[in-house]
């Protein structure tokens, strides 16, 4: 009998539609039944794996109902006797302000003492246990812990899987099929290995239940492909000179389309997707095999990123606009025209950087506003690698850039300046009515913080003040903490030594002055955590939660609050 391999994942949901994604063991017809109605979809195949995306339509706004999944009329979800609540699909309520969770960087290891010792408690799973009613909160006086309310979605901001830093379980799978002493060693090689990695990431029973009930949106970061992905032209040239990179990037992008990207899109957006249209156009009795078409697509969009857009946006009435930006694949690496976003992608972002909403949320896997000192160092590093101090300095700059990951927005100064100007114009009311806040949501850096920005002195002299607030909020990691020695080093380099050195280096390399300046409102902190954001017409509130082992019970960590932030007038 055909069974579920992974999923169901509840993906795009709005007021009247919902999307359910599954991977199955064999081909078949997948059906989702909710509130007496049933929707079905035929599976499609990619490299021997079978998937279905079931689109539910004509749902009632603000409705909530349990659902079941069957394959060829055989019940496969939910499993019986799990002790977990029934999975539900809840549609959005018209006029209700957005509430969401977000975070990044999550490794997939066991949830026992060994796994918690090496990787810390999985904050996502601790939250799932609390939402399932299986644990009590660490602080029963805190309403966010004692009576948590379901968010409208969870946004995963990159590194959902680690293709380069594999776990023991993943390495066992790799070594069962090839020699790990040969390239690419214990890193992922092909689609089959990506499929197994996603299975490890998404099939823990408690997290699986959560992801079957809480709608999710996603965007990739470097470890979904490889550390420092698209840092520079030199980095890319080194990768393309290997025997294994082409297979990795094709498998990584093809699997990302299947496992992550497809569910990000609304039904209307999916109709415009070139690969999804192949699925819709297929009318034969045999299951559609997308392998060749998807590999050709992945190869093309890697070499010609301007031919496809991974970014997407969602509107939540007048309350919020969520703009999710591809800050990895859309990079221009030509040293003469370096840009974090190619012209097409920058133009798309420019179109969506508009006001006339109460809150504008811009999600980028990498922080737009780093620690100030580190921002200066990255900007100076780009100038150095670009030849500001001659050929020898350029070689040293490139070596340093790759060694210590100097490849965030700050290391693409032209793009940073352009997007900063966009954010300023939105906040000044020059792109429609000014929002209450323009908030950048990010992950990647394995520590969390909130920064608040203001106009730099030269911008303030021009006499046009910000009407809305500019904020950077980071949640990283969900489960992949820095060792304590690295936390200290990161703090010193990012917040101590990097400050004066960074400013000095930035000035000597003649880096353009930023139009904004910022400082910490909260943080940094290094816990595994998951962040939450709650909007109202005039305010924004965020909080971060983590899991804590009590009395040695590693299987049932309790939810505890790490930090709280409220936008102040």
pLDDT per residue as tens digits for the range 383-415? 777 876 778 877 877 887 777 778 999 999 999
Question: What is the pLDDT at residue 497?
Answer: 53
What percent of the chain clears pLDDT 90, i.e. is strictly above it?
A: 84
Q: pTM for the complete prediction?
A: 0.96
Closest CA to 374 of 482, 231, 499: 499
User: How far is Cα 222 from Cα 162, in angstroms, rounded to an integer?
Assistant: 9
Cis omega (within 30 of 0) for bond into 477: yes
Query: Which one-letter DSSP state was computed for residue 339?
Result: B
Predicted confidence (pLDDT) at residue 495 exceeds the cutoff of 80: no
Question: What is the pLDDT at residue 285?
Answer: 86
SS3 label, residue 327? coil
Question: What is the pLDDT at residue 170?
Answer: 98
442 beta partners: 474
User: How far is Cα 190 from Cα 255, in angstroms, rounded to an integer?
Assistant: 10
User: How far is Cα 221 from Cα 104, in angstroms, rounded to an integer?
Assistant: 9
Query: Angle at Cα 498 formed by Cα 492 and Cα 502, nearest 5°?
Result: 180
Sorted by sequence, the CB contacts under 8 Å of residue 300 that are 6+ apart come out as 307, 308
Query: Which one-letter DSSP state was computed for residue 311?
Result: -
Residues listed for the chain: 569
Pair 294, 262: CB distance under 8 Å: no
Closest CA to 106 of 25, 211, 18, 21: 211
Long-range contacts at 382-385 (CB < 8 A, ≥ 24 apart): 382/338, 382/406, 382/410, 382/411, 382/412, 382/413, 382/511, 383/413, 383/506, 383/509, 383/510, 383/511, 384/505, 384/509, 385/232, 385/335
**Tokens linked to 317:** 């009435």
**Tokens linked to 72:** 């060829």
The CATH architecture that domain 95-566 belongs to is 4-Layer Sandwich (3.60)
User: Could you tell me where the beta strands, DSSP code E, fall in 47-166?
Assistant: 49-56, 64-71, 74-77, 88-90, 99-103, 153-157
Residues 118-143, mean pLDDT to the nearest whole number: 96
**Tokens linked to 457:** 């002195």
Query: Please, what is the angle between helix 168-175 and helix 191-202, to 10°?
Result: 150
Residue bearing tokens 């101590």: 496
What pLDDT, in 10s, does the model give residues 420-470? 999 999 999 999 999 999 999 999 999 999 999 999 877 665 667 899 999
What count of other Cβ atoms lies within 10 Å of the Cβ of residue 537? 10
What pLDDT, in 10s, does the model give residues 52-80? 999 999 999 999 999 999 999 999 999 98
What percent of the chain clears pLDDT 70, i.e. is strictly above it?
A: 94
Cis omega (within 30 of 0) for bond into 8: yes
């Amino acid at each position: 009998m055909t069974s579920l391999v992974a999923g169901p994942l509840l993906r795009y949901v709005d007021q009247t539609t919902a999307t359910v994604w599954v991977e199955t063991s064999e081909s078949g017809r997948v059906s989702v039944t909710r509130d007496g109605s049933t929707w079905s979809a035929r599976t499609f195949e990619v490299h021997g794996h079978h998937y279905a995306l079931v689109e539910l339509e004509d749902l009632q706004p603000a409705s909530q109902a349990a659902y079941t999944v069957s394959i060829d009329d055989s019940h496969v979800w939910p499993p019986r006797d799990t002790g977990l609540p029934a999975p539900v699909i809840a549609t959005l309520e018209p006029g209700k302000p957005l509430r969401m969770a977000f975070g990044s960087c999550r490794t997939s290891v066991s949830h026992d003492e060994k796994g918690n010792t090496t990787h810390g408690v999985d904050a996502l799973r601790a939250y799932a246990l609390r939402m399932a009613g299986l644990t009590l909160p660490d602080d029963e006086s805190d309403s966010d812990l004692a009576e948590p309310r379901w968010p409208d979605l969870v946004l995963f901001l990159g590194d959902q899987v680690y293709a380069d830093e594999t776990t023991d379980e993943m390495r066992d799978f790799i070594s069962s099929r090839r020699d790990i002493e040969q390239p690419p060693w214990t890193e992922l090689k092909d689609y089959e290995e990506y499929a197994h990695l996603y299975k490890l990431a998404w099939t823990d029973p408690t997290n699986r239940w959560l992801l079957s009930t809480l709608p999710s949106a996603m965007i990739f970061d470097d470890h979904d492909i490889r550390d420092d992905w698209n840092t520079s032209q030199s980095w890319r040239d080194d990768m393309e000179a290997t025997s294994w990179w082409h297979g990795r990037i094709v498998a990584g992008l093809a699997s990302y389309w299947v496992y992550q990207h497809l569910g990000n899109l609304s039904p209307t957006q999916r109709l415009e997707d070139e690969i999804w249209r192949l699925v819709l156009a297929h009318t034969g009795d045999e299951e559609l095999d997308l392998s060749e078409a998807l590999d050709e697509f992945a190869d093309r969009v890697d070499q010609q990123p301007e031919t496809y857009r991974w970014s997407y946006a969602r509107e939540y009435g007048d309350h919020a606009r969520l703009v999710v930006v591809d800050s990895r694949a859309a990079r221009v690496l030509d040293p003469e025209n370096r840009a974090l976003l190619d012209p097409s992608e920058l133009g798309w972002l420019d179109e969506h950087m508009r006001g006339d909403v109460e809150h504008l949320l811009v999600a980028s896997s990498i922080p737009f506003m780093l620690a100030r000192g580190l921002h200066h160092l990255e900007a100076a590093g780009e100038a150095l690698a670009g030849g500001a101090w001659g050929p020898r300095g350029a070689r040293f700059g490139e070596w340093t850039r790759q060694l210590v990951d100097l490849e965030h927005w700050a290391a693409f100064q032209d793009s940073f300046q352009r997007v900063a100007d966009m954010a300023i114009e939105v906040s000044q009311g020059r792109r429609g009515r000014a929002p209450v806040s323009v908030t950048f949501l990010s992950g990647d850096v394995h520590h969390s913080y909130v920064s608040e920005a203001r106009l730099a002195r030269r911008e303030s002299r021009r006499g046009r003040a910000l009407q809305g607030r500019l904020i950077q909020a980071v949640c990283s990691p969900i489960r992949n903490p820095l060792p304590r020695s690295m936390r200290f080093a990161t703090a010193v380099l990012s917040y101590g030594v990097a400050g004066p050195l960074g400013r000095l280096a930035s000035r000597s390399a003649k880096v353009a002055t930023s139009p904004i300046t910022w400082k910490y409102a909260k943080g940094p902190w290094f816990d595994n955590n998951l962040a939450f954001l709650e909007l109202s017409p005039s305010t924004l509130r965020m909080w971060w939660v983590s899991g804590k082992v009590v009395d040695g019970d590693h299987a049932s960590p309790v939810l505890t609050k790490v930090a709280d932030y409220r936008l102040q007038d």
